[in-house]
Chains A and B, each alone.
Chain A
C-alpha cells in the first residue's frame, strides 16, 4: 500500500515538473490532450465501468460543454472561461434529459440510444445556425500564448476528476453503482433505487465531460460540430480509452488515455516521420485493429489484466 502511494506521489511530481523540464510545445500539447482524455475516460468509466451503463454518446456532453463555452464567448461576449463552470452544468442538464430517455433501455440498447443521441446533437449543432454558426464552427482567441497555464489547468482538472471518481467508488454510491452493474434486478430488490443512482452516475460523468469540453474550447480556440460531436473521435475514443486502460479501475482510463494518444500520434505522424507517408492515413485503421485486439485478448484492459500481462511478459524473458 505504501509502495502504491509512493508511486502515485512520484507520478504527481513528474507531472508537475513536466512542462518546466520539457520545453517543446509539441510534447506539451500532447500532454494536454492526454489529460483531456484522462478526464473524459475517467468520467466515461464511472458510468460504464462502475455503473455498467455503456455510453456510446459521450460526445454529447463533450460537445455541449465546448459549445457552451464557445457561445458564451461569441454570443454573450463574456470570456470563454465562464464556460468552464457553465459547460459542466449545461452538460448535466443535458444529461438529465438523456438519462430520462435512455435509461428506459438496458445494456446494448442503452448504448445505441446514447449513440443516436450523439448524432442528434451533432445534427442540431450543424443546423441551428443562429446559435452555433453551423458548420462554420466557433473561433475564439486564446487567452495564453504559452501552453504551460493550460497544462496546469488540465492537470488540476484531471487529478480532481480521478480523485472524485475514487471517492465516489469508495462511498456508498460506489457500491450501489457496482451492484447495479452486476445485477440490476437484484439491486432493485435490495431496495436500491436504480433509476436514481444510474442518473447520479450519469450526471457526475456528464459534468466532468462537459468541463473537459469547455476546456477544449478554451485551449484549441476552434470547434465545429464534426469535431466535438464526432462519433468516432470522441464517443468511440472515450470507450477505447476506458477499455484499453481497463474498465472498472481507477487508473485504467489514465493509462488508456496515455496509450491511445501515443498510438494516435505515432500513426498520425507516420512513426515520427520514419515510416512512409501512407502510414499516417492508417491511424483510424490502427484504432479499429486495436479495438479488436484488446477485446479479444485483454478484455479487462491493461490495468485490469495487469497480472496476465506480467505473467506473459515474464515467461518470455525471465
Chain B
C-alpha cells in the first residue's frame, strides 16, 4: 500500500510539471492548428538558461523563472514572427510546412546548445535538492512539491489571463474561429505571435522547475516534445482543461509504469496510453466526458 501511495504521489507531483508543458503545446495547437515540434527544445533552452544562472551567478533555479520565462516569450514571438508566419504565404503541396519548420527549429536549437555546452550531462545542485518531508511514511520531495505549487499558480494566472483580459479573449476567439475573429477586427497574426510566445514561456517555466530535480543535456528536448504531444492527445486536442487532465494522467501512468513494470518501459507507458486513446477514445478525456453526457 505504501508503495502504491508513494507512486501515486510521485506521479501527481511530476504531473503538475507535465501540465505546464501540455498547456503550452495545447495553446499553440488551438490557436494555430499546428503542432509545435520544437516544444521540448524550447524547454531545453530554458533549462540551459536556468543552469547558467545557477552555475555561474548562483541564482536559485526558482528565481531564474523571472529570466527564463520572458526570455523564452521573446524567443517564441521571434520564431513565430520571422519563421512561421511567413510560411502562410508560401505556396506548397504539403500543408505540414509549419510543422516541418518547427522540426528544423528544434534541430538548430539542440545543435546550438550542443555547440555551446557540449553533450555532457549537467545538473544544478541546491541545498534542498535531496530534502523531503514525510506524511505517513510517504515521502514528499521538497523541490517537486515546490514545482507543483508553482505549476498550479502559473496555470491559475494563465486561466485568469485567458478569461479576464482583452488579449486573452482575443486569443480564445482566434482559437475558436480564426476568420470570424479577423472579421471582428482582431489582428490574428499578432495573436499567433503572442500565443507562441506564451506557449514558449509556459514550457520555459516547466523547464526551470524541472532543473533542480532533473539533469540536462542537449537532446533532452525530443522526448519532452513527444510527451507534450501525448498529453494533448490524451486531453483532447487544443483543449487547455484537457491538457491539465492529460498531464496528470501521464505523470501518474509513467510513475506506475516505472514502479510496477520496469524503468526501461517507463517511457513506453505514455506511448501505449497514447495508442489506446487513439483507438478507443479519439476525442481524448474531454471527448470522453462529452460522450458520457450525451
Partners in one complex: yes
Where the two chains meet, the residues of A that have a C-beta atom closer than 8 Å to any C-beta of B are: 48-49, 52, 54, 101-102, 104-105, 107-109, 111-113, 115-116, 119-120, 123-124, 126-127, 181, 231-232, 236, 239, 243, 247-248, 281-282, 284-285, 287-292, 295-296, 299-300, 304
Q: Which of A127, A231, A299 contacts B91 (CB 8 A)?
A: A299
Asked, given contacts A108-B35, A281-B114, whether A296 binds B87 with beta carbons under 8 Å apart, the answer is yes
Chain B 129-143 residues near chain A, CB threshold 8 A: none
In the assembly, what is the distance between CA of A141 and CA of B38, in Å? 40
Known: A107-B95, A116-B226. 9 other contacts (CB 8 A): A101-B278, A108-B96, A113-B274, A116-B229, A126-B264, A181-B93, A281-B115, A282-B115, A291-B107
In the assembly, what is the distance between CA of A292 and CA of B111, in Å? 14
Q: Which residues of B contact A247 (CB under 8 A)?
A: 92-94
Asked, given contacts A104-B279, A285-B112, whether A232 binds B107 with beta carbons under 8 Å apart, the answer is yes
A299–B97 touching, CB < 8 Å: yes
B226–A295 touching, CB < 8 Å: no
Q: Which of B95, B110, B112, B282 contacts A104 (CB 8 A)?
A: B282
The closest CB in chain B to the CB of A287 belongs to B107
Chain B 59-109 residues near chain A, CB threshold 8 A: 83, 86-87, 90-97, 99-101, 103-108
Q: How far is the CB of B289 from chain A (nearest CB, A)?
A: 20
Of B48-56, B193-201, B265-273, the stretch lying at the interface with chain A is B265-273
B99–A127 touching, CB < 8 Å: no
The closest CB in chain A to the CB of B237 belongs to A109
In the assembly, what is the distance between CA of A52 and CA of B93, in Å? 8
Asked, given contacts A109-B35, A113-B278, A123-B268, whether A49 binds B105 with beta carbons under 8 Å apart, the answer is no
Q: Which residues of B contact A291 (CB under 8 A)?
A: 100-101, 103-104, 107
A285–B107 touching, CB < 8 Å: yes
What would 14 A/B residue contacts be, using CB atoms closer than 8 Å?
Answer: A111-B96, A112-B35, A115-B226, A120-B275, A123-B265, A123-B267, A126-B264, A243-B100, A247-B92, A281-B114, A288-B106, A295-B90, A296-B83, A300-B92
B271–A123 touching, CB < 8 Å: yes
In the assembly, what is the distance between CA of A284 and CA of B96, in Å? 22
A282–B111 touching, CB < 8 Å: yes
B114–A49 touching, CB < 8 Å: no
Q: How far is the CB of B199 from chain A (nearest CB, A)?
A: 15
Using a Cβ–Cβ cut-off of 8 Å, how many residues does chain B contribute to the interface with A?
47
Cβ-based interface call for B222 (8 A): yes
In the assembly, what is the distance between CA of A120 and CA of B272, in Å? 8
B101–A295 touching, CB < 8 Å: yes
Chain B 205-243 residues near chain A, CB threshold 8 A: 222, 226, 229-230, 233, 237
A108–B92 touching, CB < 8 Å: no
Q: Which residues of A contact B99 (CB under 8 A)?
A: 54, 108, 111
A285–B108 touching, CB < 8 Å: yes
Q: Which residues of A contact B154 (CB under 8 A)?
A: none
Give the interface centre of B97, B107, B264, B268 by most chain A CB atoms within 10 Å: B107
Q: Could you mark each residue 139-167 of chain B with 1 if its beta carbon is under 8 Å from any beta carbon of chain A, else 0?
A: 00000000000000000000000000000
Asked, given contacts A116-B230, A285-B115, A291-B103, whether A248 binds B93 with beta carbons under 8 Å apart, the answer is yes
A289–B104 touching, CB < 8 Å: yes
Give the interface centre of A281, A285, A300 by most chain B CB atoms within 10 Å: A285
Q: How far is the CB of A242 from chain B (nearest CB, A)?
A: 9
Cβ-based interface call for B8 (8 A): no
Q: How far is the CB of B34 from chain A (nearest CB, A)?
A: 6
Q: Which residues of A contact B35 (CB under 8 A)?
A: 108-109, 111-112
In the assembly, what is the distance between CA of A52 and CA of B90, in Å? 17
Asked, given contacts A101-B278, A111-B35, A231-B222, whether A284 binds B107 with beta carbons under 8 Å apart, the answer is yes
In the assembly, what is the distance between CA of A295 and CA of B93, in Å? 11
The closest CB in chain B to the CB of A182 belongs to B93
In the assembly, what is the distance between CA of A115 and CA of B222, in Å? 11
Q: How far is the CB of B46 from chain A (nearest CB, A)?
A: 19
Q: Which residues of B contact A127 (CB under 8 A)?
A: 262, 264-265, 268
Asked, given contacts A104-B279, A124-B268, whether A54 binds B104 with beta carbons under 8 Å apart, the answer is no
In the assembly, what is the distance between CA of A295 and CA of B103, in Å? 11
Asked, given contacts A123-B271, A231-B222, whether A292 binds B278 with beta carbons under 8 Å apart, the answer is no
Asked, given contacts A108-B34, A109-B237, whether A116 binds B274 with beta carbons under 8 Å apart, the answer is yes
Asked, given contacts A109-B237, A281-B114, whether A52 binds B274 with beta carbons under 8 Å apart, the answer is no
The closest CB in chain B to the CB of A242 belongs to B94
Q: Which residues of A contact B268 (CB under 8 A)?
A: 120, 123-124, 127
